[in-house]
Structure 1
Amino acid sequence: MKKTNAVFPYSVLDLAILKSGHDAQDAYIRSLDLARHAEKWGYSRFWLAEHHNMAHVGSSSPTILMSHIAHGTQTIRVGSGGIMLPNHSPLMVAEQIGTLEKLFPGRIDLGLGRAPGTDQKTAAVLRRGRVETVQEFPHDLEELQMYFSEDNFDAPVRAFPAEGLDVPIYLLGSSMSSAVLAAERGLPYAFASHFAPAYFAQAIRHYKNHFSPSAKSKKPYLISCINIIAADSDEKAHHLATSFYQMALGIVRGKSYPLRPPVDNMDAIWHPEEAAAIKNMMAYSFIGNKKTVGAALEEFIQATGVDEIMVTTNIYDHGDRLRSFELVSEIFKEMKVSTMV
């Protein structure tokens, strides 16, 4: 049957992006301020990504930032979006996340990815020359889950204080591999549709059609991360979006650009082929006023059947960024979306 949700779940993904002329400390202050507002506006969770060797991305240590955010808020769930598991020992991840769960009971999420979150040279340094095989990520996931299990009590290696804690685990992905694994293991799945739209439809279809119920999840749970830039007018929203375009241009050019002030004309900055690449990357982006974004979001949710939207928003002015998240919260509170239950 169909059920109309009063409030569709909506959350935040943050990368602690550095602004032009500002440092990482400023990014961390702004992240906490955003989290406090997001909590007030009804966002479900606040996740932080893991990236390395990127001068203008401040989220190289997600567990430390999770503690920073959780300490400065009261109720919002705080998680990793995600921890790149092949970069770490599963034992150490369990210990760190278990510590956070003990410090902030019932508020910690563990999102896991298999990508390095960086370039290959940096990944080699992080992993001390270890080359990941196709089989290793599923094995690492199984080992990590074992450390959280009460059944590990008589093992020679145990993870304290993680053992026995019920920390939700989410698999993250931007292609088919994590969708297959999440379906096999019966885990919630979050797709990075905000920057990798190519496999989104195929991945979520496979995940839903092949999901195997588990002790933790009886049915599939799908989160889609998308870009949203909302403002009080369509014109202002598109102007604000040029800051994100400039940052994305760095990705296309293989460089790390800070978040720069908006400009009036992107055609003076990017080449046509670069513009096309960025627009393709942003296929699942929603830019405009409350009405424009709301209508597009409702259509997207109905078409894809996702269970939760995770919002990432890169706007130069902090006040404008807060306003965007506030408008998005209003959209979701007013939205009526029918889902199958």
Structure 2
Amino acid sequence: MIGKMKQSKPLDEVAFSVLDLAIIKEQHDAADAFERSLDLAKHTEKWGYKRFWLAEHHNMVSVGSSATAVLIGHIAGGTRHIRVGSGGIMLPNHAPLMVAEQFGTLASLYPDRIDLGLGRAPGTDQTTARALRRDRLETVEEFPRDLEELQLYLSDDNIDGKVRAIPGEGLDIPIYLLGSSMSSARLAAKKGLPYAFASHFAPAQFLDAIRYYREHFEPSEYLKSPYVISCVNVIAAETDEKAHQMATSFYQMALGIVRRKSYPLRPPVDTMEGIWTEAEAAAINQMMACSFVGDATSVRGELEHFQEITQVDEIMVCSHIYDHGERLRSYELAASCFKKKLVTP
């Protein structure tokens, strides 16, 4: 990372949230993943997390959140006040009208609680993307046009339109642009929208992208000043040793990405030696540079350093941990890192 750009607000003034993928564990099914996701949402709501987002991915045996809008309804229906949304909906996979209607329905059922995060990646491999899009080929120009079409459907200005989103029209559904590159930063800045960066798996352009976004941000009716969300991996436990052992489940799942295979989340192991090669370990460590593993004290110290450098407005926590109880404890410890007093064993 680079040095400080300017004075940033302290960690205990930064909003903190959750990114979930309804991860499917080895020898378990999607129903189990959905039950655990809802339980996590209920607990993180209690611990002060601001929002609970779900990500659209396809053709991955480890990820159960492919029907993202449906799962958002499940989570929102089982919680009381935490914001629930998409991190994100991959807009090129969908007709903008359908997205407007789906999120209009969600926002009507759960007023002032639904977020619409949008991405332009397919969330899958190209073969599956073609199956989703029925051979529709995305161009660079199409995503901005689809975004404008979606914004029109959700606005009051479309009241006399020949095609209207019912429900959806006129509802205040916040839109966030997601990305992992400079192109998404440019579009978010130009459109005056909040920007969420996938630093939890693609940190390479993170600092350059958020710098560009802030320097070129154009205020809009949606947002008056830049707003940056960074997603990071956090695995916290009572001891550093325990956290690093728990993290081996996460490393095994990441290994599937490197090998272009999809594995369900596997139980932790004592060591990754013999499971990955040195080259694979280096690739995963580079990919997961924005990861914080350890006890609460060490994680908070690393998060404070991260915040000092990046000055983000919100940190979104993603934690792939095999044991559900240990995962809950990790999120509880992570929440305490954003507060003045750490949770103690």
- The answer to whether TM tops 0.5 is yes
1:249-293 C-alpha deviation (Å, 9 max, x unpaired)? 111111001111111110121111011110011100000000100
Q: Match for residue 12 of structure 1? A: 18
How far apart are the structure 2 equivalents of 1:209 and 1:287? 32
Q: Match for residue 61 of structure 1? A: 67
Quick check: 1:8–1:333 contact (8 Å CA) kept in 2?
A: no
RMSD after superposition: 1.3
Q: Match for residue 216 of structure 2? A: 210
Gaps of 5+ in 2: 1-6
How far apart are the structure 2 equivalents of 1:132 and 1:87? 9
1:130 and 2:129 equivalent? no
Q: Match for residue 100 of structure 2? A: 94
1:45 and 2:54 equivalent? no
Q: Write the mapping of 1:74-153 to structure 2, written as runs, cut at 5 A.
A: 74-153=80-159
Quick check: 2:11–2:338 contact (8 Å CA) kept in 1?
A: no
Does the residue aligned with 2:332 lie in a helix, a strand or coil?
helix
User: Structure 2-normalised TM-score?
Assistant: 0.95
Q: Match for residue 325 of structure 2? A: 319
1:24-49 C-alpha deviation (Å, 9 max, x unpaired)? 00000000000000000000000000
How far apart are the structure 1 equivalents of 2:260 and 2:197? 23
Does the residue aligned with 2:159 lie in a helix, a strand or coil?
helix
Q: Cα offset for 1:7? A: 3.8
Q: Match for residue 233 of structure 1? A: 239
Q: Match for residue 304 of structure 1? A: 310
How far apart are the structure 2 equivalents of 1:264 and 1:186? 47
How far apart are the structure 2 equivalents of 1:333 and 1:72? 26
Quick check: 1:10–1:332 contact (8 Å CA) kept in 2?
A: yes
1:149-181 C-alpha deviation (Å, 9 max, x unpaired)? 101101111101111101000000011111100
How far apart are the structure 1 equivalents of 2:88 and 2:310? 23
Quick check: 2:200–2:288 contact (8 Å CA) kept in 1?
A: yes
Q: Match for residue 248 of structure 1? A: 254
Shift in alpha-carbon separation, 1:56–1:5, aligned structure 2, 3 A: closer
User: Structure 1-normalised TM-score?
Assistant: 0.97
Does the residue aligned with 1:78 lie in a helix, a strand or coil?
strand
Q: Cα offset for 1:6? A: 5.1
Q: Match for residue 185 of structure 2? A: 179
Q: Match for residue 27 of structure 1? A: 33
Find the partner of 2:227 among 198, 205, 221. 221
Quick check: 1:15–1:57 contact (8 Å CA) kept in 2?
A: yes
1:66-109 C-alpha deviation (Å, 9 max, x unpaired)? 00000000000000000000000000000000000000000000
How far apart are the structure 2 equivalents of 1:128 and 1:136? 16
